[in-house]
Amino acid sequence: MKGLLFLLVICAAQLGFSQRPFLRGGDVSEIPEEEAAGAKYFYKGQQEDPLKLLKQAGWNYIRLRIWNNPKDGFCDESHTLAMAKRAKAAGLMVGIDFHYSDYWADPGKQYKPAAWKNLSFEDLAKAVHDYTKEVVSKLVAHGTPPYMVQVGNEIGAGMLWPDGKITSADPNEWQRLSTLLKAGIQGVHDGQGANHILTMIHLERGGDNSGAVWWFDHLAPYGVDFDVIGLSYYPFWHGHLSALKANLADLGPRYKKPIYIAETAYPWTADVPGHFSEILSKLESGYPATPLGQSQFLKQVIDITKQDSGGYGSGIFYWAPTWISTPQRSIPWDVLATFNKDGKALPAVDTIGGKN
């Protein structure tokens, strides 16, 4: 009887996720800063509000990163609330990406916010819970409940260093990290009201199946109750499309959780500045650094996510598609955006939206 009940629960959960839409979108957190610097965006020859533009192209989701107290103010709580309202008005669902930092958090740096620097571990966990609950509660109160929340950003090496840092299989490290993750997830639950907001754990290991399995297997004993898996996949850092395919084919059936490509990107031009020049030697064969090559690469990522994940692939999000240079400032990332240097939408915009 217990075995039958377990199967019924699993089937019900899978049915619920199968009824959710395949998400097509990206992290457009930089839009307020871009607009302040004079950026303009064009689609099919017409200038348009970038969020409305993306909706027209078929996108249904945007991700917004949030930093606790950023020095320039962008990506803070107030900007995030305002962007969520704009997204809802444009007909887009919203996901929130908690970095739990005052600036970038990624595999090479997971620094605590300055205000949390000297907290005891118990108080740090409480701060994670309270801050998460506060932001989610305000989003709900503003009529913009997030569809999904990431509890940490690319946390393969842990989060909130040194307290939640992962360097080995040491159970003490995993116990601390799991406590912080549980605090964030509980904060989402306590702030969501009548909504069911999905919680994501996001790793950078899109092409690293053995590393991803090692990570989730070490987390499993600590009972962290999250909903979905997020993976970053950049071919020049994470391996060939074949590695992504093998990873997705294993992770979904293994852990019975929906999987999202939480970040991806590809250059549309070979005119790459020195900061990113090394990526040109690591591009996927057959997909040149051109607008068409970028579009075709993304089509492959989408196809792999949908077709080769055992039914668990649930969406793809492009990273910083709207981060372009303006006369006021130069942005090296603009060669990996989905708009050219004049703000005109590249074919990739329609590809992400499922229109080509």
Residues involved in catalysis: 154, 263
SS (H, E, C) 254-271: HHCCCEEEEEECCCCCCC
Burial (Cβ within 10 Å: 0-12, 13-18, ≥19) of residue 146: buried
Residue 2, H or E segment: helix 2-18
How many other β-carbons are positioned within 10 Å of the β-carbon of residue 95? Answer: 27
CB atoms within 10 A of CB 196: 11
Q: Residue 159 and residue 162: Cα distance in Å, rounded?
A: 8
Structure tokens at 166: 């992962």
Element (H, E) at 65: strand 61-66
The residue behind tokens 């668990």 is 312
Q: Tokens 């940490």, residue? A: 152
Cβ burial, residue 106 (10 Å; 0-12/13-18/19+): middle
What is the DSSP pairing of strand 259-264 with strand 313-319? parallel
| Contact between residue 215 and residue 156 where contact means Cβ atoms under 8 Å apart | yes
Task: Of 208, 257, 188, 206, give the one whose Cα is nearest residue 229.
Answer: 257
DSSP reduced 3-state for 337:
coil
Nearest of 115, 65, 113, 55 to residue 87 by alpha carbon: 55
Give Dmax (Cα) for the chain.
Answer: 67
All residues at 6 or more sequence positions from 313 whose CB lies less than 8 Å from its CB, including other chains? 22, 248, 252, 258, 259, 260, 304, 305, 306, 307
Tell me the sheet residues that pair with 61.
25, 93
How far apart (Å, rounded) are the C-alpha atoms in residues 90 and 30? 17
